[in-house]
Amino acid sequence: MAWKAIGIFDSGVGGLTVLKEVVKALPQEDTIYLGDTARVPYGTKSPETVVRYSRQIAEYLFSRDIKLLVVACNTASAVALATLQRELPIPVVGVIEPGARRAAAVTRSGKVGVIGTAATVGSSAYTKAIKRINPEIQVVTRACPLFVPLAEEGWVENEVARLTASIYLTDLKAQGVDTLVLGCTHYPILKEVIAEVMGDGVTLVDSAQETARTVAEILGENALLRPAEEVGNHHYFVTDVPAGFIRVGNRFLGGRLGDVYQVNLEDEGKEGGSGEEEEP
C-alpha cells in the first residue's frame, strides 16, 4: 500500500530541528517540509496574517496527501494551531503543548524557565500551556533573540555564544528554575552552551524532541505508522530562493539536506528547483 508522508512547516529553517527529531524517532516515515522563507519571521506579523499564512501552507501540504501535520513554528503554534486542528481532517501537532507537558512532568521545584523569541515570550503561550497542566507551577520567561542569528551562523560553541547565553540566562538561573524549556526551534542548536550556563541541576526540555514523541504516539494510536523496515524519503520546499535555506539547513541537519524546491503559495502552478528541472 502507499504510505502517506508527515507534513512539517515552519516560517523558515528552525523547524528542521523538529524534522531531525521526527526522523530520528521514526526513520521509516516519509516527510515533506515547507519553510516559508519569503515571509519569515512570523513573530512580527499580526495574528490574522499568521493564521492566513498557516492556512495556505496547510492547504498546500494537505494537497500532497499527508497523514499528519506538524506546526514546527512557535508563533504559528501559539496563534493558528486551533484553527488548523478545527479545519483539517488529519491530526495537527504544535510544538508548544508537548514541551509544556514535559516541563510540567519533570520539574521538582515547581519553578520552570522558558526561553524563546520576543514574540513567543510575549504571547505567554508556554506559560498558559504549563499552567493549564499545573496551575501551581511558577513560570519565568526570558526572550533570547540573539540565539537565532547565532544558531544560523553556526556560532554555537565560541566565546560570543557563551557570553550571550550567560547574559540572557544568569538571572533565570538565579531565580532557581530547575527546568528550562527551549521554546524556539533554533535553540537546540545551542543546547550545549545553554546547559553549560544553567548547570547540572537544570533539566533542558527540547520542544523538538517532545513534539517528535507526540507524533510517534499519535501515529501509533491511529495505526498510521509505516512498517519499521521501511526507509523514509524527505522532500523540502521553500517559498523563496533555496540558497540560504540550504546553507543553514545543512548545518542544522548535519549536511543531510537533499534537493530543495521553491513553491509559490499564491500560485501553486509556479514551481522551480535548486538545480533540478522538476520536483520529485
Active site residues: 73, 184
Task: Provide the whole-model pTM.
Answer: 0.90
Which one is the CATH code of 5-94+210-272: 2.60.40.10, 3.30.1370.60, 3.40.50.300, 3.40.50.1860?
3.40.50.1860
- Looking at residue 123, its amino acid is S
The DSSP line for 127-193 is: HHHHHHH-TT-EEEEEE-TTHHHHHHHT-SSSHHHHHHHHHHHHHHHHTT-SEEEE-STTGGGGHHH
pLDDT in tens, 1-40: 568 999 999 999 999 999 999 999 999 999 999 999 999 9
Q: Residue 214: pLDDT above 90?
A: yes
Is there a common fold for 5-94+210-272 and 96-207? yes
DSSP state of 56: H
CATH number of 96-207: 3.40.50.1860
C-alpha span between 234 and 243 (Å, rounded): 18
pLDDT in tens, 29-87: 999 999 999 999 998 899 999 999 999 999 999 999 999 999 999 999 999 999 999 99
Q: What is the pLDDT of residue 274?
A: 46
**Domain chopping of the chain, boundaries:** 5-94+210-272, 96-207
Find out whether 93 and 69 touch, Cβ atoms under 8 Å.
Answer: yes
